[in-house]
Structure 1
Amino acid sequence: MNTRILTFLALLLTSVCGASSACAEALTTMDSVEHVASKHTLVNLNAANVEQLMALPGIGKSKAQAIVAYREEQGPFSSVDDLVNVKGIGKKLLAKLAASVEVR
């Protein structure tokens, strides 16, 4: 599920339910679902467009365009570690991105 939708639902439950124990349990479940959803939403480096790449931490428009250009020139990424071959992406940024990206 989209984390924005989950956040909205959690806020809605909070405003409707107040502090009842049933609502508190529902909010805890929503938080758990949101946590799991955010962990499993990985950006595929071989399919993502510039806008999707810009949603990643530390990636602005120029780096996103560089990733797409690299992919178009060199072919698909074979591993996440290949990102260090893209101009402007070093080991530090790769470490920040590693949990948010995948290669399929």
Structure 2
Amino acid sequence: MLRKIMVTAAMLAAFGHAYAAVDVNTANEAALRGIKGIGPAKAKAILEERDAHGPYKDTADLSKRVKGMGGHTVERLQAEGLAVGPAGAAAGAQAAAPAQGKAATATAAAANAAGTQKSGAAVVVKK
């Protein structure tokens, strides 16, 4: 039982970053640097552009205004939890729901592989 709890906790910790979207219009430097793929220089460039010209309207606006932030880069950062505005944060929360299902599936698979289930029955997780 303890082993099952430990496996579940480890899986939730691993997928925890997918549940929180960071809004580029309200985030500070530390929050931006928390996104995989954004370092100190990129976070500084994002903040300086936002301070100089106001909030970003959408991902296309972010791509145009910040050097080195092309469309593919912004898409990758969105997958890591970057959002543009309240609508982007809501989309990030919806995108986290499938990740939660994957975490449950991975946790069940890990529990089956470890042989921690006492009944010996297979765990079926519906998506």
- TM-score, with length taken from structure 2: 0.55
Give the root-mean-square deviation of aligned CA atoms: 2.0
Cross-structure match for 2:68? 88
1:56 corresponds to 2:35: yes
Please name the residue that 1:101 is paired with: 82
**Structure 1: segments with no counterpart, 5+ residues:** 1-21
Distance 1:33 1:90 in 2: 31
User: Shift of the alpha carbon at 1:79?
Assistant: 2.3
- 1:69 aligned partner: 48
Identity %: 29
Normalised by the size of structure 1, how large is the TM-score? 0.65
Give the ranges of 4+ consecutive aligned residues of structure 1 lying more than 4 Å apart after TM superposition: none
CA-CA distance at 1:44 after TM superposition: 1.3
The amino acid that maps onto 2:18 is: K
Gaps in structure 2 of 5+ consecutive residues: 87-127
